[in-house]
Amino acid sequence: MDVKTALANLRALGSEAMRTSNARKDAGDNQFGVKLGDIRALAKRIKTDHALGLALWDTGNIDARYLALLILRPKDLSEAEVDRMVRTNSYPPLADWLNSYIVKKHPAKETLRLRWLDDPHPMAARSGWSVTTESVTKSAETLDIPALLDRLEAEMPTAAPEAQWTMNMALAYIGINLPEHRDRALKIGEDLGIYRDFPVSKGCTSPFAPIWIAEMVSRQS
């Protein structure tokens, strides 16, 4: 499948309702409004196609970029290409797919993580803290957790919203997964109050770290 055909397929799958929903999340106008399930189905038809994935990403179209992430080969991307993808996206839901499907599967993710944690670019920082959260859950022994908590306490209040979201995730997962650091994570979350009044849909867990930590720890009991 070439780019033109892939875009035509996506356009046919789009709907005004989805475009409106995406627009409320700041997706912009370069989108067709395709349901993620339909994008996944199209990706299964295409299978892995690295060249097509790169071309689709470069269109800037939100739906094409979602599709690209499903058909790219992460290991075939250079560090510079991954960094460019992170910086050329401004849509947070797409950033989360990018982190899950590309960044966390890339062999240089630790090098990128360390670089991004000190990067002022909001999406680079979002990715850096996203990978840090994964490290908290899978390899916490490699991290300086007290130093991370120091940074979260000092930097979260003034962080860009894009980065603040994954910083808060890191704080919550420290509290959930590392009992020896739980009290401090709870105190930081309570003192900062970030996402305390965040609207939560029925059945969902609040992103306010103290509530999130308490709920997840209770499920472990």
The whole-angstrom separation of Cα 28 and Cα 65 is: 13
Contacts of 172 (CB under 8 A, 6+ apart): 185, 189, 207, 209, 212, 213, 216
- Check residue 202 and give its pLDDT: 82
Tens of pLDDT, residues 25-78: 877 889 899 999 999 999 999 999 999 999 999 999 999 999 999 999 999 999
- Check residue 204 and give its pLDDT: 86
Token pair recorded at residue 35: 């349901």
- Check residue 200 and give its pLDDT: 87
Average pLDDT score over the chain: 95
Spell 25-53 as b/e; 16+ CB within 10 A means b: eebeeebbbbeeebbeebbeebeebeebb
Higher confidence at residue 209 or residue 23? 209
- Check residue 62 and give its pLDDT: 95
pLDDT at 126 > cutoff 80: yes
Torsion sign, CA atoms 71, 73, 78, 82 = positive
Tens of pLDDT, residues 166-203: 999 999 999 999 999 999 999 999 999 999 999 988 88
Q: Nearest CA to 93 among 132, 35, 8, 46? A: 35
- Check residue 107 and give its pLDDT: 96
For residue 21, what are the CA distances in angstroms to 14, 172, 176?
A: 12, 28, 32
Q: Over the Cα atoms of the chain, what is R_g?
A: 19
- Check residue 201 and give its pLDDT: 85
Q: Nearest CA to 126 among 150, 149, 153, 104? A: 104
Burial of 214 (0-12, 13-18, 19+ CB in 10 A): middle
Q: What is the pTM of this model?
A: 0.91
